[in-house]
Structure 1
Amino acid sequence: MMKMMTFFQTSVGDHQTNPSMPPQYEPELSPTGRKPRAVSETESDTASLASSEDLSPHMERVSTQDKDEKKKKKKKKGIIKMFDVLTRGMRKKSHSGPTAEVPETVVKPDAPPPTVEELYSALKQERLEMAPHLLMLERALVQDTTGMNEEDLICQQSKVEALYTLLWSAVLRVVRRPLENEPELLLQALNVILEQEQEDQRVAAEERGPSVLATTRPRHWLKRWQENVKDSVEERMTRPPSAILDGPRPEGMEASSEAAQSFLYMGKTMKEDLLAVAQRLQPLYPAEFNVFCTYATCYHNYFSSQLTAMTQFELNDQDTSLLLLWVKNLYPNDIINHPKLSEELQAAGLGSLLPPKKTRKLEVDYISNETANVQELMMRGLALEVERWSEDEEPMNLEGYFHSELPIDIIQIISAAQVKADTRALGEQMKPLLMAKFSSFLKSYQQAFADFTEKSKPKHYRATIMANINNCLTFRTYTDKESKAMEKDLSSYIFHPLREIEQSGFNILLQNLFLALKSLFKRLTQTRWATHEETVAEIIKITSDCLPEFKALRKRYQEDIMEAIHLYLVKEYIIRLSKRRLVLRTADLQLNLADQISADAKNIQCFCAQNGSPAAWLEPALPTLAEIIRLQDTSAIKIEVATFASRFPDFSKGHLGAILTIKGNLSNSEIKSIKSILDVSTLLTDSSRSLFSLIKVG
């Protein structure tokens, strides 16, 4: 077979005109006389591409006509064989892309094979249809080295590699900006890459002996395409300084942060680009490219590398919050689970942006930072509220009620922290911790309120007390709403300081009224109930005069304070009956006292009910005691006592004995028999319904 160099330096026309013509040109040596080295694909165009002069024929003197005839015959045979290879029809295998089909590249049987110069010129023009000719040229050089010395082979291989460099540049220009080229051209470039992959596999499957030629296979053009995708993705994901991000920002995004801007740009770019890949490129690319997964992996890896790099430095609270926002919310929800991308991205199995260990550390730091910040903000709000108390500012009046912004501020602080944690998938972990901080705050609030009440009484003292009582209702409403997510013990801890503030506030507001009423109740005993009607009427009048002030309390607390007044009136009346100073030995006297008690009970009940007391449970207290005093039959008294004890479980034998003292016509044995009804203990289940436990008997 003829030397391969002849094909590179002899025009096709010469051989077709005279097939028997001996070779006119011989291989050219390098100027140094050394063997030229093979040209690598990875070298730049200026360094590795052969010039037009290198790839064009170099005329040499014709050798003498008396060359060895045997050598000429071998060369002639080699030319015929090589032409047969280059003119054989070649078809590409069809790819398995979803919707597109790679066009077939055909070398026409009657078309002459191109010269090296023609190949060079065509590839400089980025004519990808010349790729099969170059592949055949490479195969011919590798397979037929007969009659060529080592230096010639290396020189020719260098020229082949220079042509491959041109071909790769042409392919790269197309695949690097795939959406900027016509689909037909893109399919052609992709087909060239697949041809090279198939050639890599074919060469790898062949057993070859030692050769002077440099190893150029495998070329790994598919891998080089993947690396090119990686480079182009990194270029796309690098935010230019001039980039302006429009539109609403995600919840919790710190707009002033440079890192936040960069991450937002990367997320927006990744989502939009992957949508383009899924909708426009995936139908065109053969399945071997796995184009969507390749792009998605490159975008994911770059995004992940940027976040990971950030974690190598000491992070402030804002940085930690930002990283978690992307890792736990924006990336998985807005990108991975995007309706048009989720199926493909789930199949790609990209995982999280950060390793679990780093994510967990961020979570711990975030929770610690946020709870400390919440506590600081709440205590700062309390300090401002206490400062207003000390300045004796009258509380705001909102819809007729004394009002403070403190509970609104505190609830907003907690809610904002909870929402922020929810956007980072940490809401469930944060909620009990925030409630614990809330409970701690309420203890501090209750202590600050107690300190205020122990100091001197400024002008707006009572108004401030009512404003703080009203605050408790706002805190209670919020706690009731959140109590489902709290442990029972934590919930009770939260309510305890509120009850303390409410009760303390009621005591302060009612203190002067109760002192005035106490002296009036004493008059009942002193006059042996002779002036009971006038006394009870005066009690009701004094109480009624105090009620308008309490209209500045929220409606619930108006009812609560009226219930406290109702309880006080009934309690003080019973205390007067239990003083053992009144002993009536006849049934008529007992009946007369019972009527007086019933009349007073009716007036008290009517007054309290009209002013909003919800304490209907107190209504039977005085009438039942009047009935015990009225009854003369021991058995009937026992029935009445048993019924009374079921309504008031804290009614004791001591209380009963004090009432029975009024009935001076009962023997000791009868009193003992009646008291035995209370031997069956009745548990007090609701401390708010206590009445007789507030009454001490001697």
Structure 2
Amino acid sequence: MLKMMTFFQGLPGERPVPGAVDFPRSPQKLPSTSEGESEASMSEASSEDLVPSPETGAALERDEERAAKKEKKKKSKGLSSMLKVFKGRRKKGQPSSVEPEAEPNASPGLDSRLPTVEELKVDLEHGRLEAARPLLALERELLETAAAGRLSDQELVRRQSKVEALYALLRDQVLGVLRRPLEAAPEQLRQALAVVAEQELEDRQVAAGPGGSALAPTRPRHWLQLWRRGVTQAAEERLSQPVATGAEGPSAAERTFLHMGRTMKEDLEAVVERLKPLFPAEFHVVAAYAESYHQYFAAQLAAMAQFELCERDTYMLLVWVQNLYPNDIINSPKLAGELQGIRLGSLLPPKQIRLLEATFLSNEVANVKELMARALELESQRWAQDVPPQRLDGHCHSELAIDVIQIVSQSQAKAESITSDLGVQIRQVLLLELAGFLRSYQRAFDDFLERYKQLKNYRANVIANINNCLSFRASVEQRWQTLQDTHSHLLVPLNEIKTHGFDSLLQNLFLDLKPLFKRFTQTRWSAPVEILEEILATVSERLPEFSELQDSVRKELMEAVHLHLVKEYIIRLSKRRLILKTAEQQQQLARHILSNADLIHCFCTQNGSSANWLSLALPRLAEIICLQDLNAIKIEVATYVTWYPDFSKGHLNAILAIKGNLSSSEVRSIRSILDINTGPHESTHPLFSLIRISWFFLPWSHWWVNR
């Protein structure tokens, strides 16, 4: 399965991302509550309204001199220090730009004398956020003055414009700090957060208080909302940074989403570790950043999903939406606990995901089908061109099974890397495609067996394909053993390939054995041991030809030889024109059969055959021939049918024809045993169904028994 660490490794030519959140360093203008308010505030901050009236000019000059001296002495920027400096600074009757009519009561610890507008402007321009509380006091004093009606509307508007211009400066300073929080000193960051929190509290208090005033409404200022907008902008700038392109490797879309995923994960981890301890709880700083990054990420994926995607990008989208994003980012060890209650949701809506999954399945199945067909075509060409197969550990080897299983496995692994449910869906479809391929493989192999027998490497390629079936079977049984119907469906073509391959390999051997088996019917039964030994010697000489088969397959081939020997022996026994009328003759023949059966069984088992089910085929026929009691014969026949359900009346007639001392009524009585329905007669291992018994197999004196 795809791993997040693989995706998050640096790409060629891409600038490494530092461990901390690298927020944009180029300051941008932050939006205010409205565009009109922002423009008016900034114009007020630089207009002649900030210039004092002529009668207060001398006093302000002294204030400016004292402010300059204060800078040179580098006194403390704290609010309490600043207020101590202001205390007793203005002489009695000295004018100011804003003369409060009453003592401010909303700023605990504030001296009776408030700083002037010009003093606050200087402080704010130098980033002294301590000026926020005196400015708030001026605003409250102005509201009280307006409520008392002691100044004209024109004067109130003039003073309010100055206060709002200062607020514009304060806002830009505060939000500028919060826009790049990791670059700010912790104390400065705390001051900025305290200012926003204080302004939010003031917004709520003003909203809850009595309305109506000669002043233009300026609250709520919504600085918390402005901060969140800044977070959104920061997220967009971070995630939209250009990614270096390369001639090889991932596509542009893959590199883009890799960059966004890695950046989002690292930035959110920095927010959790470094910002969350500093931010007040009401800011919900982790949620603010997580939601902003999530929204931009989701928007990019939604935009991409609107276009007709190539197969690679379709897969990439699904991997990010269904696997990497929820598992390796949202539920990563450092973020899972923080993001659990935020409920960011999926990057794409469910309907869009289903469409992409359907497209992915269709693409994958088509690719698998095409790749398997191409692999079979190349393999068939090698057979026809008489290219010898590879040798691996002394065995003929073909890569076809490995290639095909790898094609199927990789496709299923791709689906599982998206979701386990998608892996289950594609599994069923891939099994059907694999079954279709195996049928095509069987047809191609049968065509090769029929047309290219004269080629030099014919037998070696046959052996390689038989070994191939073993690889296919092992994979099927290992990967899909729980699907019994599909399992058996897949094995049918493989069994046919193996059987037809065995028939081709054993054809010459069986032709050589045919005249030897005929000698059983041309000689007396007193001398069949020598014939059987010659048969077994011939088989033994030819066994090295099959040494390049895999060991387990070679044992199966030996089972086929074992079956052939037993089958041919029964055929020759059934065809023998011999009627034994005495019990002694029948017992002598039974002893010969038992001796031959033992020779066949020992030879085959010693050479790898495990067909133990054949061990009773000849000995129990010898028992039927040997027995003289009618009821004992019936019992033996009934038992024999349970071992070999394909033993028919025709086969029984051929054996009973040897017993010349049975009357026709006794034969009919014995044959009636097979009329008893004892259940299904389908044999797991066919034997007698491979032996065709015709009426001319029987001695002329017993031909009527089959009528």
Matches within 5 A, 1:48-87: 48-50=44-46, 54-60=49-55, 82-85=101-104
Task: Give the letter for the 1:419 counterpart.
Answer: A
Say if 1:115 and 1:151 are closer, same or farther in 2 by CA, change over 3 A. same
Task: Answer yes or no: is 1:539 the counterpart of 2:541.
Answer: no
Q: Shift of residue 450 of structure 1? A: 1.4
Instruction: Find the aligned partners of 2:36 and 2:121 in 1 and give their Cα distance.
Output: 16
Say if 1:192 and 1:431 are closer, same or farther in 2 by CA, change over 3 A. same
Matches within 5 A, 1:10-409: 41-43=37-39, 47-50=43-46, 54-60=49-55, 82-85=101-104, 88=105, 90=107, 106-107=109-110, 109=111, 112-145=113-146, 146-209=149-212, 211=214, 213-242=215-244, 255-409=249-403
Residue from 397, 407, 429 that aligns with 1:413: 407
- Mean Cα displacement is larger for which, 179-188 or 297-306? 179-188
* Aligned equivalent of 2:14: none
* Aligned equivalent of 1:18: none
* Aligned equivalent of 1:474: 471
Instruction: Find the aligned partners of 2:479 and 2:98 in 1 and give their Cα distance.
Output: 91
Matches within 5 A, 1:560-599: 560-579=556-575, 581-599=577-595
- Whether the aligned pair in 1 keeps the contact of 2:376 and 2:400 (CA below 8 Å) is yes
Per the alignment, in what secondary structure is the counterpart of residue 649 of structure 1? coil
Q: Shift of residue 682 of structure 1? A: 4.0
* Aligned equivalent of 1:498: 494
Q: Shift of residue 681 of structure 1? A: 3.1
Task: Give the letter for the 1:609 counterpart.
Answer: T
* Aligned equivalent of 1:28: none
- Whether the aligned pair in 2 keeps the contact of 1:120 and 1:163 (CA below 8 Å) is yes
For residues 294-344 of structure 1, the C-alpha deviation after alignment (integer angstroms, 9 at most, x for no partner) is: 111011111111111111211110110110010011101101111121122
Instruction: Find the aligned partners of 2:372 and 2:608 in 1 and give their Cα distance.
Output: 35
Task: Give the letter for the 2:589 counterpart.
Answer: L
For residues 179-230 of structure 1, the C-alpha deviation after alignment (integer angstroms, 9 at most, x for no partner) is: 222222211111111111112112212232363x332111111100100111
Q: Shift of residue 157 of structure 1? A: 2.0
Residue from 636, 639, 646 that aligns with 1:650: 646
Say if 1:545 and 1:273 are closer, same or farther in 2 by CA, change over 3 A. same
Q: TM-score, structure 1 length as denominator?
A: 0.84
- Whether the aligned pair in 2 keeps the contact of 1:522 and 1:576 (CA below 8 Å) is yes
Per the alignment, in what secondary structure is the counterpart of residue 165 of structure 1? helix
Say if 1:682 and 1:571 are closer, same or farther in 2 by CA, change over 3 A. farther
- Whether the aligned pair in 1 keeps the contact of 2:646 and 2:682 (CA below 8 Å) is no
Task: Give the letter for the 1:508 counterpart.
Answer: S
- Whether the aligned pair in 1 keeps the contact of 2:464 and 2:549 (CA below 8 Å) is yes
- Mean Cα displacement is larger for which, 632-641 or 309-318? 632-641
Say if 1:557 and 1:684 are closer, same or farther in 2 by CA, change over 3 A. farther
Q: Shift of residue 478 of structure 1? A: 0.7
* Aligned equivalent of 2:632: 636
Per the alignment, in what secondary structure is the counterpart of residue 513 of structure 2? helix
Q: Shift of residue 534 of structure 1? A: 2.2
Per the alignment, in what secondary structure is the counterpart of residue 397 of structure 1? strand
- Whether the aligned pair in 2 keeps the contact of 1:580 and 1:661 (CA below 8 Å) is no
Task: Give the letter for the 1:380 counterpart.
Answer: R
Say if 1:61 and 1:454 are closer, same or farther in 2 by CA, change over 3 A. closer
- Whether the aligned pair in 2 keeps the contact of 1:524 and 1:530 (CA below 8 Å) is no
Per the alignment, in what secondary structure is the counterpart of residue 610 of structure 2? coil
Unaligned 5+ runs, structure 1: 1-37, 63-74, 92-105, 245-253
Task: Give the letter for the 2:101 counterpart.
Answer: M
For residues 258-278 of structure 1, the C-alpha deviation after alignment (integer angstroms, 9 at most, x for no partner) is: 111111111111111111111
Instruction: Find the aligned partners of 1:183 and 1:125 in 2 and give their Cα distance.
Output: 18
Residue from 689, 693, 705 that aligns with 1:693: 689
Instruction: Find the aligned partners of 1:385 and 1:243 in 2 and give their Cα distance.
Output: 39
- Whether the aligned pair in 2 keeps the contact of 1:39 and 1:162 (CA below 8 Å) is no
Say if 1:311 and 1:47 are closer, same or farther in 2 by CA, change over 3 A. farther
Instruction: Find the aligned partners of 1:456 and 1:325 in 2 and give their Cα distance.
Output: 48
* Aligned equivalent of 2:12: none
Instruction: Find the aligned partners of 2:175 and 2:476 in 1 and give their Cα distance.
Output: 64
Say if 1:525 and 1:260 are closer, same or farther in 2 by CA, change over 3 A. same
Q: Shift of residue 471 of structure 1? A: 0.5
For residues 88-118 of structure 1, the C-alpha deviation after alignment (integer angstroms, 9 at most, x for no partner) is: 4725xxxxxxxxxxxxxx53x36x2101110
- Whether the aligned pair in 1 keeps the contact of 2:42 and 2:168 (CA below 8 Å) is no
Q: Shift of residue 375 of structure 1? A: 1.1
Instruction: Find the aligned partners of 1:194 and 1:243 in 2 and give their Cα distance.
Output: 44
Q: Shift of residue 492 of structure 1? A: 2.4
Pairs aligned (count): 618
Per the alignment, in what secondary structure is the counterpart of residue 39 of structure 2? coil
- Whether the aligned pair in 1 keeps the contact of 2:207 and 2:220 (CA below 8 Å) is yes
Q: Shift of residue 243 of structure 1? A: 9.4
Unaligned 5+ runs, structure 2: 1-33, 58-93, 695-707
Instruction: Find the aligned partners of 1:39 and 1:306 in 2 and give their Cα distance.
Output: 28
Say if 1:243 and 1:60 are closer, same or farther in 2 by CA, change over 3 A. farther
Q: Shift of residue 81 of structure 1? A: 6.1
Q: Shift of residue 519 of structure 1? A: 2.2
Say if 1:173 and 1:266 are closer, same or farther in 2 by CA, change over 3 A. same
- Whether the aligned pair in 2 keeps the contact of 1:267 and 1:331 (CA below 8 Å) is yes
Instruction: Find the aligned partners of 1:685 and 1:267 in 2 and give their Cα distance.
Output: 65
Q: Shift of residue 144 of structure 1? A: 1.9
Instruction: Find the aligned partners of 1:663 and 1:61 in 2 and give their Cα distance.
Output: 147
Instruction: Find the aligned partners of 2:40 and 2:98 in 1 and give their Cα distance.
Output: 33
Task: Give the letter for the 2:473 counterpart.
Answer: R
- Whether the aligned pair in 2 keeps the contact of 1:41 and 1:165 (CA below 8 Å) is no
- Whether the aligned pair in 2 keeps the contact of 1:650 and 1:684 (CA below 8 Å) is no
Q: TM-score, structure 2 length as denominator?
A: 0.83
For residues 422-443 of structure 1, the C-alpha deviation after alignment (integer angstroms, 9 at most, x for no partner) is: 1111211111111111111111
Per the alignment, in what secondary structure is the counterpart of residue 689 of structure 1? coil
For residues 541-565 of structure 1, the C-alpha deviation after alignment (integer angstroms, 9 at most, x for no partner) is: 2211221111111112111111111
Task: Give the letter for the 1:331 counterpart.
Answer: Y
Instruction: Find the aligned partners of 2:250 and 2:44 in 1 and give their Cα distance.
Output: 49
Matches within 5 A, 1:434-453: 434-453=430-449
Task: Give the letter for the 2:107 counterpart.
Answer: M
- Mean Cα displacement is larger for which, 159-168 or 667-676? 667-676
Task: Give the letter for the 2:469 counterpart.
Answer: C
- Whether the aligned pair in 1 keeps the contact of 2:521 and 2:576 (CA below 8 Å) is no
Instruction: Find the aligned partners of 1:614 and 1:489 in 2 and give their Cα distance.
Output: 27
For residues 485-508 of structure 1, the C-alpha deviation after alignment (integer angstroms, 9 at most, x for no partner) is: 53x332222111111111111111
Q: Shift of residue 684 of structure 1? A: 5.4
For residues 463-515 of structure 1, the C-alpha deviation after alignment (integer angstroms, 9 at most, x for no partner) is: 111111111111111111122453x3322221111111111111111112222
Instruction: Find the aligned partners of 2:589 and 2:46 in 1 and give their Cα distance.
Output: 130
Instruction: Find the aligned partners of 2:40 and 2:398 in 1 and give their Cα distance.
Output: 75
Per the alignment, in what secondary structure is the counterpart of residue 348 of structure 1? coil
- Whether the aligned pair in 1 keeps the contact of 2:480 and 2:487 (CA below 8 Å) is yes
